Structure 1
């Protein structure tokens, strides 16, 4: 998701050293990408799981709302004018947004025919944008003349002037005319758009054309540059020379031939561009004349680290302080490695880094370079928290190293040390140690909480009540666990061992005592119940219970009792227990069960269950073997006529008076 945050607030979103945005990333487990400083874009992109992204967007919006009093203003602007205001790639609207602190101006969809326009931003900026937009809309109704001027892209900076001084002077005569220069994202980088009243636009256009004509006037001047500095401009592919040309409209700069003693340098191009290039050359020469070289003592073991990533850190320091930094070359390293030479009492040649430039710049560059030297600090982290700091598969410690650009070394577990080592730049190491300290405090609080949750109590519950404590499918004990936020451990009864009555409750002390009191109260109630055991034929137990226990539940509800059937491991499969609060209910239920037993026993043919179960196996073996006669697959004897019965009147045993196989005629 992308969330619009006013450009002025981005630095507050980032925080000192990136602390704020880093905190939001860690809390929401998201990736937060902010636009570059010079991009002009105000939207921040948040990537991650949907719930986490929504949480991060809410935090970013909250920060913005806290930084300024954000208001939303609704304006009514006729829909027919919207296209005029939004023409030219929203140049007018974008210009107003930039001028008013980056407020957000929302127009309705193109085909909605709605007149409602919304402005959102800080109160003062939104009010100023409202006035500018309404003035522009009113002016559009009177006049919407638009014209343009074409100028080379390299001339635009001269038309605008330093800090916009020149373009402000141009606008003074016609303040209602909008002058729109191309943006970096525009394909056309030469066209300057003018919008306003026709006569005022014509006046501004004429003034700009005069300035552009003046810029197009080709002049040629010369300047003196000492021969010893020529190499600085043309060395390394003439990078310095090309930079001057690019910054000054592509002027042509010609240096004398190499080894010539001529000091004249020729500059050719438009007048303003030539003057700008000449001034820049003079500044560079002045820096070179004032240039000195100082030494910085940087241990050789850190040179590779500083020059890592293609020397990006060193290049940034050079550009920032306008200096040149030179590390020992290979020959120097080999010589220094063989002889360990040192210049007087100074540092070894292996550790000497040269910095050239103005004195004040060299000192600042040396300080910045030394600040990049990695250091190693030791942080106190109790051994018991090392696993928490490492995280699952090392993800926590990797995130710390990535966020703070440091290396974290955690000692092996067998050493059980209460410290870890953090290596990196001094500032980064300091921030990383502070973050680790904060996390250790959180781990300690968590460990203390876990210790409090491990309080245990033991309550005596007779084994015969364990099943009642558990309840059907563990429903009762699960409810008790959730109610008191505890763990309840019921001992298993192993065959051949003495019954164990100890039920263990684990949790916060207060919760454990409350749970114990509830269990003891339940046990006391169970002890006061009237219990009666009866013998019911095990073959009818399924009939008594019914499908999914519906039948037996109805009996228990009718008589307000509890009925327990034997388990497969019980010695007596016929023993059933009936429990109730009073004797009458229990005995009435038993009478009802006896009636059901008698009824169901008739259905299964009667007989004693025990006699059926205790029949000797020898009796079954003495029974006659099973014989099968007249089966369809047995072939009849064709010589025996008795196997083929006669049909009709002649049949043996045929009823008298029978006429044929179908019998005689029926009379009605």
Structure 2
């Protein structure tokens, strides 16, 4: 947790107070309160009796009848560093959806509004707004979920536990809320003197407060010392070595406020002799350091401050241990880049060298890599990137989708090695992989994908290309990723498919659902015959459960009228020509917009097949269509019994009547 104190902001901090009447705004001075008669006017017939008014003494209060009251809504901002973030959804870096869900749940439980943002260094910043008690509860719940929890035990005499609990446990509840911790105090029947504190680094505050309460109740000697906060590191020593030694030697308890608690007060409790000796040692050492200490300030880029501090302050402790110089850092929410060194004059130079060394111990580097290539660099379940990072554990790798690059952070030598490996991998992937995209109207996506993904999966399997179609965001781009040859083939096939769909039209025909089975026929034989005749047309019937009368017909805007006659009913014509000429005859497939018929075989056989196909075409080319208007009442007479009359006319003249006439009830009886 950030060692700096939390920021707490009142919504209206500039509100004037009664003790400062000069701060009342002009708007307040201009406000005149309504009188009783103005607020409650008399009825028209009521007597206008004068209302006695007692004169108030002329004081500052009477001049301003309205006092502005500050809002009870407050805002707190606090930060969770990257190294202290708890795992959410099994990952420290990702899981934004889970974070949002957790914050929404806490808002529902407390009524406080929570905003969360992530910084470049992977730290999280929370802004919590609401009433004071709601904000404090929300803060404790947020830290409980988002920050790693530590479990600490402090031994407090059993007779002091009731003072920690307070009346009906209220004091303990306040302490938990203020320190964002969970404190477990043994019940009265338990003889244990151990109090368990669970929480983040805020638990240091809770431990400090619990110890203070106990020390105040102790019957042994108890001393308070006012030592300026900046001298606490010298008295405690690196990693609290000095203070721990002092407590062990003199059998006392010394309570020093943690760095995040901005208090000067130290307390010593224990046997009187030991307390007095420790008090004397601390005061003498403070006076000595106050006389010896000098300060020097240096400017270090804000982005490098975390490297000076180190994980959990380890680098600052190391500098204090080596040089007896304290390093004072600006708060994380401050824009200041100034670092202050405090210590003996002859040690400041050495400490300054160490500060610069720590600041430059970690560098950042950027590696250019297209966003589409990131998944291949990472590999399946991170296998590829793990080959680079497993030998360089101090290097942090971050993929930035917005800028299309990769950021590296770590020791200079390791970062350089990781950069070289990544650049070699990227160059190798670029030589093997290709990226392309197509602009396609989203309305064609469902046809490109096909039923249950049949079309798109077939293209993927045949070409080995990754095809990304984003239907959710309304994008009109289809991205292709894979080998250059595979991408080219997939793009060509998709373009042909799109061209075909652009040249198609769809029509909806209303046919009562009860007739659908008759049209489809037994085992689909009737609809199959229609589809064979018009092999470029798709006919879709609604599912039985849909209760729909709409039949959809989709096909080319301009069909090739002669091909169906060349093919013949159920392929009879084309199969006959193939058998008699011994040739292979290929007609354009459904997805092709071509009029070419390809004949393969011996030259003389191909000539024979071509002549027969040409003859069919020439015969059909002379066909004309003529509309004759005949009243419907004469249709049955023209068709004849069982359609014999119309069929004889057709055979004798070589003409085909319209489909509407052929579908007359006279032919279906």
Sort the TM-score into its range (normalised by shorter chain): under 0.3
**Which entry has the higher C-alpha Rg, 1 or 2?**
1
**TM-score, scaled to structure 1:** 0.28
